[in-house]
Chains A and B, each alone.
Chain A
């Protein structure tokens, strides 16, 4: 490919970018995304706190808590006998006027009274017992009484806090230490290598939070890639359907057109994504600062997640995402050029849609596999397969579930595939861009490529432009 093929691409790029940024649909969509990003964090924070606040307001409907402690069978004496008290909980303003007493009547008697007797309209049964799932706290409220579901939930939360605090005090173990005791024992088989270092077979299963990060990032990348690709395709169809392309081709080569347009649309979409993420993070930080509490993202993300979000990891992820965008955008440019009229756009985008679906489905399935059984054949394939690697690899890298070497191999493969696709598109684009009539079918592309390669050989013999 000669340098002259790209002459004028910079002018096509700047014109397309300016016109896209001035486009009303683009501005409206960006404004909506900005609004959504800015409002989502305070909204999520408010929803998160809503339950607690409403519970505090309505606890006044509970007058009596009847306590059944059936934990004696476990340790020889019940938690209550060992010193479990709810003093701190009952001292809270929300519980003023609430009486807490150990039940004397059998559980079943009180339970049936709770269903029928109006005298129990403001009474709640709280029962702690051991079952298959370990310790269970059961809170029962009267069927026809005034006690609401929120009040029941609030009471259950508060009692759970007291029970956890008692367990920590009694065992001398913190909550997280107790959690570790409850987890399964992982297997770590190690062997000594030739240098005497230990080599371990890793446990590659990811946590729920890591899964959602990989899934969420894949979804955002797919969303932006889809928007950018469709914009590239429709921009090329507009050039063709309005016949502007004929005028443009008297000044620039088809490749300059495709490169200028693709990069401009990509930049506009990536800019949109960055603005959205920046506003989302700012909104999250501001919400935390203003409320004086833990921000929404801090609350849902696991501790230590930020240790993998290093500048270098971000850079490698950004390169991967950009190469992925480029792949889909070049594919979109080719698909756009296969149509002659706006109404043919959807039909011509079939190849792009199928490729995109394959990419995102593989990424989601691989994330599932990672969460269930760790790195297997599907994950390994998806990490390197160019259709899916831009969706999966950045998330894996940023959650520490992929190694650097893997990311570099993925980048190399994407680079090779991008270059091959570009070469293919460069060969057939000239014919596609001047084609009018019925949309060209995907299966016809290879035939066109072969015949044009022959023509290009003739061209080298003198019949060039």
Chain B
């Protein structure tokens, strides 16, 4: 199975919001769609989900045109949505039934996910003494984090083959962030095709193997994350010493990216220059606490790419 988007273009009137987007997921995994606000990520996702028509291009599942309504797709939208006054159980059952999950199976899955995400007391609230249900089984009685968990349940309740997560971790506390990450990892292990959009670059680096960076609808970078990083080379040098090396750094003429009280982040041309720098430190008998040469982070690549594009415009 493969999921492929080929030359997808979508415009509103004269404004092109997605311009020739192409990517392919050859195998299950996590694909990242990155971009600034208004870059076209959510529109691309909506087109893939069949909410919007598109001007040109193709969306293929296993090489054939994909009809979103005929595929089992789970979606966690960026802007969370639940009926505030309906019971959570009713809503989840409704969402499951729309995804063609039989009622008994849906109830089983709701129980499973309620346990897994610690939502039992909200979905199945204990009855009050007089036999009336407490009000906490409505969405408007839940915290933002718990509402997000209910949304994740709604996205996963049909056990989808394609999972689209738009900013899945935004607004979560550290405990719930870890819980969400664990669930996403579990889904990855179930061989799901996951498309993730996020502004949190560390999260993307943690989960994604491939990515596309969009800026104002245009693709500015696309490919395998490791290969992209390799193409940049190991040019980021982190040095931490016991003594002040300001003078030595000036002598060598290496570019300083950031200076912390006892640590330097430097930009070198490659491994050779880094080794020369290290040799100099040793010759001066300076104790080196940390010496790390690595590829640029996704954050740096993103800023560089999107920045370049802004400058070009």
B53 touches A247 (CB 8 A): no
Interface size bucket, A side?
20 to 34
Q: Chain A, 1-39, contact with B by CB distance < 8 Å: what is the 0/1 string?
A: 000100110011001001100010000000000000000
Contacts of A18 in B (CB 8 A): 90
Is A242 interfacial (CB 8 A cutoff)?
yes
Chain B 53-97 residues near chain A, CB threshold 8 A: 53-58, 65, 67-69, 73-75, 77, 79-86, 90, 94-95, 97
A251:B98 contact, CB within 8 angstroms: yes
Given contacts A462-B58, A465-B68, contact A249 B82 (CB under 8 A): no
Q: Which residue from chain B places its CB closest to the CB of A8 in the assembled complex?
A: B98
Q: Residues of A contacting B75 with CB < 8 Å? A: 246-247, 250
- Are B51 and A243 in contact, CB atoms less than 8 angstroms apart? no
Distance to closest chain A CB from B169 (angstroms): 18
* Bound-state Cα–Cα, A12 to B98, Å: 8
A463 at the interface (CB under 8 A from B): yes
A2 to chain B, nearest CB (A): 11
Whole-angstrom CA separation of A430 from B80 in the bound complex: 20
A19–B97 Cα distance when bound, in Å, is: 15
Contact among A242, A251, A456, A465 with B83 in the assembled complex (CB-CB below 8 Å): A242
Query: Is B192 interfacial (CB 8 A cutoff)?
Result: no
Minimal beta-carbon separation of B93 from chain A (angstroms): 9
Closest to B85 in A: A23
Chain A's nearest CB lies how many Å from the CB of B244? 54
Q: Which residue of A lies closest to B90 (CB)?
A: A19
A247 touches B77 (CB 8 A): yes
Of the candidates A8, A249, A462, A464, the one whose C-beta lies within 8 Å of that of B51 is A249
Report yes or no: A430 in contact with B84, Cβ–Cβ below 8 A: no
Docked Cα-Cα span, A7 to B98, in Å, equals: 9
CB contacts (< 8 Å) of B85 on chain A: these are 23
Q: Is the CB–CB distance between A248 and B90 below 8 Å?
A: no
CB of A459 within 8 A of chain B? Answer: yes
A270 within 8 A of partner (CB): no
Q: A15-B94, A247-B77, A252-B98 are in contact. Are A242 and B51 (CB under 8 A)?
A: no
Q: Are A434 and B51 in contact (CB under 8 A)?
A: yes
Question: Which residues of chain A have C-beta atoms less than 8 A from B99's C-beta?
Answer: 251
B83 in contact with A244 (CB, 8 Å): yes
**Contact: A455 with B51, CB < 8 Å?**
no
**Is A360 at the interface (CB under 8 A from chain B)?**
no
A18 (CB) vs chain B CBs: closest residue: B90
How near does chain B come to A93, taking the closest CB pair, in angstroms?
A: 57
The answer to the question of B125 belonging to the interface, with a C-beta cut-off of 8 Å to chain A, is no
* Docked complex Cα distance between A244 and B79 (Å): 9
Q: Does B199 contact A (CB under 8 A)?
A: no
* A434-B55 in contact (CB<8A): no
- Are B69 and A247 in contact, CB atoms less than 8 angstroms apart? no
Interface: A127 (CB within 8 A): no
Query: Are A11 and B97 interface neighbours, CB within 8 A?
Result: yes
B52 within 8 Å of A (CB atoms): yes
- Complex contact A243–B50 (CB within 8 A): no
Q: Complex Cα distance A4/B67, Å?
A: 11
**A250 and B79: CB pair below 8 A?**
no
Cα A251 to Cα B107 with chains together (Å): 19
A243, B53: Cβ atoms closer than 8 Å: no
Give the residues in chain A near B83, CB-CB below 8 Å: 19, 238, 242, 244
CB pair A434–B52 under 8 Å, yes or no, is yes
Q: A242-B82, A243-B77 are in contact. Are A250 and B50 (CB under 8 A)?
A: yes
**Of residues 289 to 306 in A, which have CB atoms within 8 Å of B's CB atoms?**
none
| Closest B residue by C-beta to A16 | B94
Which A residues from 246 to 279 make CB contacts under 8 A with B? 246-253
Which 10 A-B pairs give the minimum distances between C-beta atoms? Answer: A243-B81, A465-B50, A251-B98, A244-B81, A15-B94, A246-B77, A249-B51, A250-B75, A243-B79, A242-B81
A sample of 5 cross-chain residue pairs with beta-carbon separation below 8 angstroms, ordered by A number, consists of A19-B90, A238-B83, A430-B52, A451-B13, A465-B69
Beyond A18-B90, A458-B55, 8 extra complex contacts between A and B, CB < 8 Å: A242-B84, A243-B80, A244-B81, A244-B82, A246-B81, A251-B69, A455-B55, A462-B58
B residues adjacent to A (C-beta < 8 A): 13, 46, 49-58, 65, 67-69, 73-75, 77, 79-86, 90, 94-95, 97-99, 151, 154
Binding site for B on A (CB under 8 A): 4, 7-8, 11-12, 15, 18-19, 23, 238, 242-253, 430, 434, 451, 455-456, 458-459, 462-465
